[in-house]
Amino acid sequence: MKLSIRKLLLPAVAACALLASVSFAEAEMVFHRGNGAEPETINPHKSTGVTEANIEADLFEGLTSYAANGELIPGVAESWEISDDGKTYTFKLRQNAKWSNGDPVTAADFVFGLQDAVNPNTAADYAPILDVIVNAQAIREDTEKDLSKLGVVALDDHTLQITLNGPTPYFLGLLRHPIAYPVHKATVETFGDDWTKPGNMVSNGAYMLTEWTPQASLTYVKNPHYWDAANVKVDKVVMYPTEDLAEELKSYKAGELHATYDVPSEQIKDLEANYADEFKNTLYLGTYYYVINLTKEPLGAQSDLRKALSLAINREILTEKITQGGEAPAYSWVPPMTGYSQAYVSFKDMPQDDRVALAKELLAKHGYGPDNPLNIELLYNTSENHKKIAVAAQSMWKAIGVNATLRNEEWKVYLETRDKKNFEVARAAWIADYDDPINFLDMFLSNAGERNDAGYNNKDYDELIAKTATETDPAARMKLFTEAEQLFLNDDPMIPIYHYTSQHMVSTKVSGWEANILDFHLARYISIAE
């Protein structure tokens, strides 16, 4: 008996001893940052999430880049010229831009990078956002087999020319998306899919990958060859996958992290009150909404009923009492964006009491009332936050005599149900990939397929959006967008609820962290006081 217990104990004791011998050596200036989840991939052309983009923005640099405040600044390209028709971009690359192994970054690297991004064999989820480039769509759909037909040409080592299908004012912003980052050809060709491993990876950003232990941490250090290395202060960045937000916050409070990925919404009020210097909260390019399935009756046919549902939702109360993160009550689909004036739902300035009265009136008009309540089903995916909002919405609808049943589905099931349009009202959200209204508005084109989750179909809307593709005057283009959004909102195919905010805890030791709408905080701007 004794023996068997000892046998059981032995490996554990041995393992303890082994682990005890491992310890960390502290480098000079280290930035410990919570990063939400385990990155799925750090191949910039394959990744899709914010977690991955945060890492890739430090490891790689596109033609354009982010300033500390999120503004667009030159990246590898130090300057560019745009042709009068807005279709041809000629970039001058920095002479001193280098890869982390010392190789110069050349125009050919960008040609290779963009070809790799649209190459159907890469199978990049985000390749469609590059469709603005000549032949990109044909290549990724495999109808054009010749990669060199892509409208990206190296005129010489440091001059790159990109040709677009039409004027695309947001193209420069798009170039800082990970899908447009260059990759090191020799490395990719030598290691194949393994090129992103520590030791293999060669990158051109301010940092280079040294260590990646899944579910524990991902570490990168300063790239000595980076063109602006002299101004990079943090020597080493450690990114932690922090899925449990409450634990992340504790870890932060215990001094283990300098910055968090997010904060638990339950604690925001307390953080605002007691950690005002450290709690960073700013508007983010996203909208949380309830989409209404227009292919299902009775909501599909009756815009009055949809409007009633929208009227009943008290966004102010929802954001103030439930989400509590300083979110902006939403009355439009496109979130606030520089240079764009949003369109609003008709009742934006109506007091809530009047809205409720109007909602009841609209319901009564179609024969719904206390004796004959409208029954609807609200679909949302499993999450504490979605649940809280759904429960609140349910009670707000109850107040106008609508019986809402909550239907909760686990993420993938929810996606399938939504895609198959098997719902009446569903929770949805969209976070911008780049800051242009088209990123929101093209979702509801009649030919957008499954992305168009409302099943919205309006020829006038389609035409307005189509017009923007050829409009060369940026102001006129934005006006067309506003017009289209107004048209869309007047049909009430969705209930906008709030525009997102991003929330972080950032230690007072950290300087160079500027809250910005894109929520990118490159480590090259950060420094840490001890």
Partner 1 sequence: MTDAAMVSPRGEVKGRSLWADARRRFLRNRAAVAGLVVLAVVTLLSFGAPFLGLRAPDDINWDMISAPPDYAQGYYFGTDQNGRDLFVRTLYGGQVSLMVGLVATLVSLVIGTLWGASAGYLGGRIDNVMMRIVDILYSIPFVFFVILLTVAIPRNFIAPTMLMYLAIGAVSWLDMARIVRGQTVSIRRKEFIEAAHASGVSSWHIITRHIIPNCLGPVVVYMTLTVPAVILTESFISYLGMGVQEPDSSWGTLISEGVNAMEVAPWAVIYPSGVMVVTLLALNFVGDGLRDALDPKDR
Partner 2 sequence: MLSYFIRRLAGAIPTLFLIIAVSFVLVRLAPGGPFDKERKVPATVEAKLIEKYHLDEPLPQQFARYVAGLAQGDFGPSFKYPDRSVSELIGIGFPVSLTLGLSAIALALAAGIGLGIWAALRQNTWIDYLCVGTAMLGIAIPNYVFAPLMTLVFGLMLGWLPVNGWGEPRHMVLPILALAIPQVATITRLTRASMLEVLNSNFVRTARAKGLPEMVTLLRHTIRAALLPVVSYLGPAVANIVTGSVIIEEIFRIPGIGRYFVQGAINRDYTMVLGVTILFGALIILCNLIADLCYSLLDPKVRYD
Q: By CB under 8 A, name the binding residues for partner 1.
A: 245-246, 264, 266-267, 269-270, 317, 321-322, 382-384, 387-388, 390-392, 394-395, 406-410, 413
Q: Rounded to an integer, what is the distance from CA 300 to the centroid of its chain?
A: 30
> How many whole angstroms separate alpha carbon 114 and alpha carbon 117?
5
Closer to partner 2 by CB, 147 or 415: give it. 415
Closer to partner 2 by CB, 116 or 304: give it. 116
Q: What is the dihedral of CA 413, 419, 422, 428, to 10 degrees?
A: 80
Contacts of 77 (CB under 8 A, 6+ apart): 63, 64, 91, 92, 93, 94, 160
> How many beta carbons lie within 10 A of that of residue 92, not counting itself?
17
Closer to partner 2 by CB, 79 or 382: give it. 382
Task: Specify whether the CB–CB gap between 119 and 184 falls below 8 A.
Answer: no
Extended strands (E) in 320-438:
328-329, 374-381, 402-409, 425-431
Q: Which stretch binds partner 2 (CB under 8 A): 180-188, 313-321, 443-451, 520-528?
A: 443-451
Answer yes or no whether residue 22 interacts with partner 2 by CB under 8 A. Answer: yes
Answer yes or no whether residue 419 interacts with partner 2 by CB under 8 A. Answer: yes
Closest approach of partner 2 to the CB of residue 228, in Å: 28
Extended strands (E) in 245-318:
279-292
Q: Which stretch binds partner 2 (CB under 8 A): 20-28, 319-327, 341-349, 461-469?
A: 20-28
Closer to partner 1 by CB, 108 or 391: give it. 391
Answer yes or no whether residue 23 interacts with partner 2 by CB under 8 A. Answer: yes
Q: What is the dihedral of CA 223, 229, 235, 240, to 10 degrees?
A: -60
Q: Which does 120 bind (CB under 5 to 8 A by kind): partner 1, partner 2, none?
A: partner 2
Sort strands 402-409 and 374-381 into parallel, antiparallel or unpaired.
Answer: parallel
Q: Which stretch binds partner 2 (CB under 8 A): 193-201, 292-300, 331-339, 348-356?
A: 193-201
CA atoms within 13 A on the CB side of 158: 12
Q: Which stretch binds partner 2 (CB under 8 A): 368-376, 393-401, 446-454, 475-483?
A: 446-454
Footprint on this chain of partner 2 (rule: CB under 8 A) = 1, 4-5, 8-9, 11-13, 15-16, 19-20, 22-24, 38, 40-43, 46, 48, 120-121, 123-128, 140-142, 193-194, 196-197, 213-216, 240-244, 246-247, 250-251, 253-254, 256, 410-413, 415-416, 419, 433, 449-451
